[in-house]
């Protein structure tokens, strides 16, 4: 396997991990806002209990992602930095606002409601803007002139495909977070909150699937080359869609572990993660070798091979140290009965 392919695999791995973790994190903030005035369900308490230890961990992956781009594909980083200067600045501003207001909402109790609303709204806007990076890399919205690349904002925000991506990002954010919070509520023995989030998952699942179909329906108008390549892996795409059946079983089937309780949300969380992994593999494979179509490829933007090997070894050592820590953190977070069943 070529060094450039290994490097882009590492980069795409960071993208996938951050996408899954961040959607659950952003969605939890939104649900905390939505159910803030329904204290009897304790749905907001569950969402805040999830947010408290996880949003700091999630942010470490976006740092790793940016560092990976600059260290592995420096030429692409320059071009991406140029065309993403406006949307990227807005995303960074929203991330800073959300992080700040999340902290202040737990300190300034008298301003908790407005701070929670701001963090919840920004949390649902961020994934919609982040996913715009994908259609931008398809090349249709990038103009080249005077030796520089420029983003055509008018074409970008009048594209039906871009809005399909945005709709998919928002619905996925709410869907994945509702599944995880349903699982978390069940583990916490908060059955009213569990029923609320399970219901949300049942509503948002079909909407998310519809948005995925809308992306594929509008994609040929913007990136025929990418659509044709994805269709070459149609069996994998159908397999990805097939995992919705498993998600449905997790949402509707009776629990084998708790008599009289419907739903196995942990099964749905695992199934949806595998589904997104398959779909992202098909998309990423079809996108190769382009980082930004048609001028920036993984080979033209790749760093010096010696630098790559040094960075690669650093990543291996770093993950060997950090990954067991993340696993231990997650096991404590999902299994510590004192934390799961605290009242606040």
pLDDT digits (tens, 9 = 90+) for 73-119: 988 888 888 899 888 899 889 888 887 777 666 666 666 677 778 87
Over residues 131-158, mean pLDDT: 88
pLDDT digits (tens, 9 = 90+) for 231-256: 999 999 999 999 988 998 989 888 77
Over residues 130-154, mean pLDDT: 87
Which residues in 170-202 are b (16+ Cβ under 10 Å) and which e? bbbbbbbbbbbbbbbbbbbebeebbbbbbebbb
**pTM to 2 decimal places:** 0.89
CB of 275 closer than 8 Å to CB of 237: no
Q: What is the dihedral of CA 199, 200, 203, 209, to 10 degrees?
A: -130
Residue 294 has pLDDT above 80, yes or no: yes
In whole angstroms, what is the distance from residue 237 CA to residue 19 CA?
19
What is the percent of the chain where pLDDT is above 90?
A: 33
Over residues 261-279, mean pLDDT: 90
Write down the pLDDT at residue 58.
72
Write down the pLDDT at residue 55.
61
Backbone φ and ψ of 297, nearest 5°: -115, 170
**C-alpha angle 273/276/279, rounded to 5°?**
150
Tokens of 223: 């990136």
Write down the pLDDT at residue 260.
66
Per DSSP, 264 falls in state -
Find, among 117, 25, 6, 57, the residue nearest to 322 by Cα.
Answer: 57
- Write down the mean pLDDT value for the chain: 84
């Amino acid at each position: 396997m070529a060094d450039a392919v290994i490097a882009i695999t590492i980069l795409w791995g960071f993208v996938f991990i951050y996408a899954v973790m961040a959607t659950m994190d952003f969605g939890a903030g939104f649900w905390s806002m939505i159910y803030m005035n329904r204290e009897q369900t304790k749905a907001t308490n569950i969402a805040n209990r999830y947010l408290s230890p996880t949003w700091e961990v999630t942010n470490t992956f976006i740092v790793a992602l940016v560092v990976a781009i600059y260290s592995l594909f420096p030429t692409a980083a320059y071009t991406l930095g140029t065309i993403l200067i406006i949307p990227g600045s807005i995303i960074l501003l929203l991330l800073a606002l959300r992080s700040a207001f999340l902290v202040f909402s737990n300190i300034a109790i008298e301003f908790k409601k407005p701070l929670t609303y701001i963090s919840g709204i920004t949390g649902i806007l961020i994934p919609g803007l982040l996913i715009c990076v994908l259609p931008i890399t398809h090349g249709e919205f990038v103009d080249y002139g005077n030796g520089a690349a420029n983003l055509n904002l008018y074409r970008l925000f009048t594209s039906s495909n871009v809005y399909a991506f945005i709709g998919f990002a928002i619905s996925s954010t709410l869907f994945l977070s509702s599944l995880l919070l349903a699982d978390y509520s069940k583990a916490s023995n908060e059955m009213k909150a569990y029923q609320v989030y399970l219901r949300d998952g049942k509503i948002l699942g079909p909407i998310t699937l519809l948005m995925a179909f809308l992306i594929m329906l509008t994609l040929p108008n913007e990136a025929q080359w990418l659509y044709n390549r994805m269709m070459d892996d149609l069996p994998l795409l159908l397999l990805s869609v097939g995992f919705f059946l498993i998600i449905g079983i997790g949402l509707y089937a009776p629990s084998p572990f708790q008599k009289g309780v419907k739903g196995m949300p942990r099964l749905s969380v695992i199934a949806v993660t595998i589904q997104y992994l398959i779909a992202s593999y098909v998309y990423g494979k079809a996108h190769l070798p382009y980082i930004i179509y048609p001028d920036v490829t993984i080979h033209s933007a790749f760093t010096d091979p010696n630098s790559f090997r040094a960075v690669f070894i650093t990543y291996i050592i770093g993950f060997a140290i950090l990954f067991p820590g993340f696993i231990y953190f997650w096991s404590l977070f999902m299994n510590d009965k004192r934390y799961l069943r605290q009242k606040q």
